[in-house]
Amino acid sequence: MGVIGDTLSAARTRRGVDLEEVHAATGIRPRYLEAIEQEDWGALPEEFYARSFIRKYARFLDVDPDPLVQEYRRQQGGEERGEAPASPFARTRSRRAEALRRRRRRQSAYAWMGAAALLAAIVVAIVLLSSGGGEGGGGTGGKNAAGNATGKSNGAAPTKGSPSTGESTKKTVQSVKLQIEPTAEVWACVLDGKGKALIDGLILAAGESMGPFHSRSYEAAFGNGSVRVLVDGKTARTPDTPSPIGLTVDAHGKVHELPEGSRPSCE
């Protein structure tokens, strides 16, 4: 073993827990935990996910994960010789700051979209009310037109096919339903619109359905394309690939791919 394996194995021994107990608490498969302790990196998924596993395992054992991740990067040749490595704290802070900036930009865009939809609904209502005629200028036809616009003329209900302003406004703020159904073993990280982890970097088995979740938007990353993503009950079109993928689901239920540098990590 080496620094990483010795540190984690010793910490686990001190706590008196076995690999099955760690798996139950972290969601990391026992074979991956054993590979980390043996520093058998070839038995783990891609490098990005190996770092995530090391972090989660270390945090469960109350061990500082940053020196271990830095050591893993050094072993994988992630730092140039003779070049001073960046502070683990600085790297973590930078990643979190960038993720927070992206999240705020999206939330701001969604807020503007909601405000625009509400304003449009109000304008439509005003136009419909105005078309019924001004004060004292409308006869029976004017009253009926105004009554039809508000859905109150002669006690009649609004037309079934024409939603009221309140219904239109409600439609812009409703949540999107998301469900994840792996078709093979896959690593998954899913965040809601506020950045809260719904699936916190877990390895999911085939058929292990997660959800449904409810949020205005989502960010997700998967270790491969062996996953079925259902948005509001409908299967979304996602890449069928053995490589990692990233997705966003917006407030309208539209699914878009995320480039590698923008995918959530659940670290």
Angle at 112 between CA 109 and CA 117, to 5 degrees: 125
- Residue-wise pLDDT for 184-204, tens only, equals 888 889 999 999 999 988 888
CATH architecture of 3-75: Orthogonal Bundle (1.10)
- Residue-wise pLDDT for 53-79, tens only, equals 998 999 999 999 999 999 998 888 864
Nearest to 199 by CA among 170, 223, 164, 234: 223
Residue that wins the pLDDT comparison between 183 and 82: 183
Query: What is the structure's pLDDT at 44?
Result: 82
Any idea which of 110-114, 183-187, 228-232 has the lowest mean pLDDT?
110-114
46: phi then psi, degrees, rounded to nearest 5: -60, 160
d(CA 156, CA 162): 13
**Any idea where the domains of the chain sit in the sequence?**
3-75, 115-173, 176-262
Nearest to 208 by CA among 179, 236, 237, 233: 179
Query: What is the structure's pLDDT at 59?
Result: 92
Query: What is the structure's pLDDT at 228?
Result: 92
Once rounded to an integer, what is the mean pLDDT over residues 28-43?
A: 89
Q: Looking at the predicted structure, is the pLDDT value of residue 222 above 80?
A: yes
Q: Looking at the predicted structure, is the pLDDT value of residue 92 above 50?
A: no
Query: What is the structure's pLDDT at 255?
Result: 94
d(CA 44, CA 40): 8
Alpha helices, DSSP H only, in the chain?
A: 3-15, 19-26, 30-38, 47-60, 65-75, 88-130, 140-150, 165-173
The verdict on pTM exceeding 0.85 is no
Nearest to 178 by CA among 196, 194, 191: 191
Structure tokens at 145: 């037109």
d(CA 223, CA 240): 12
Nearest to 267 by CA among 187, 204, 207: 187
